[in-house]
């Protein structure tokens, strides 16, 4: 098992991170029992997440509903979840999204299941910790 897969499989390491590219994550998780989803969410965040994660019809497309639905995920298969954000909103919406994702990661970690939200940040401009040490 690669070190990156070990990290992504460890509930205690759950959280919100950044990385330069998704390729390493996809390679490390290929064949693993993790639910890995990539999201393009710069425009219409709620609809993009609903499509990518196949949210149920009851999803209300607001911040409270997002927190509720991410705290369920019973319709998703896998021993844990990795959500890769290829694109994402800016400004206040980004901050709120990160807060919701942190709460979600803590929730799942407390239940012994990994949850990782990873933002692609080639320029390392986001004030998030790196997912792993890149070469």
Read off the pTM.
0.95
How confident is the model over 70-97, as pLDDT tens digits?
999 999 999 999 999 999 999 999 999 9
Domain count, the chain: 1
Do the domain assignments include residue 135? Answer: no
- Has residue 98 been placed in a domain? yes
The pair of structure tokens assigned to 88 is: 């994402």
Q: Is position 22 within any domain? A: yes
pLDDT for the residue numbered 96 = 98
Residue 108 lies in a domain: yes
82, 97, 131, 133 from 113: Cα distances, Å: 11, 20, 17, 23
């Amino acid at each position: 098992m690669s070190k990156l897969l070990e990290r992504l499989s460890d509930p205690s390491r759950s959280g919100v991170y950044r990385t330069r590219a998704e390729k390493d994550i996809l390679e490390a998780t290929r064949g693993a029992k993790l639910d890995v989803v990539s999201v393009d969410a710069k425009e219409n965040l709620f609809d993009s997440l609903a499509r990518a994660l196949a949210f149920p019809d009851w999803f209300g497309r607001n911040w409270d509903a997002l927190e509720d639905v991410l705290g369920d995920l019973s319709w998703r298969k896998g021993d844990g979840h990795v959500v890769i954000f290829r694109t994402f909103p800016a400004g206040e919406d980004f901050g709120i999204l990160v807060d919701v994702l942190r709460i979600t990661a803590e929730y799942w970690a407390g239940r012994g299941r990994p949850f990782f939200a990873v933002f692609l940040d080639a320029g390392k401009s986001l004030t998030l910790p790196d997912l792993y040490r890149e070469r």
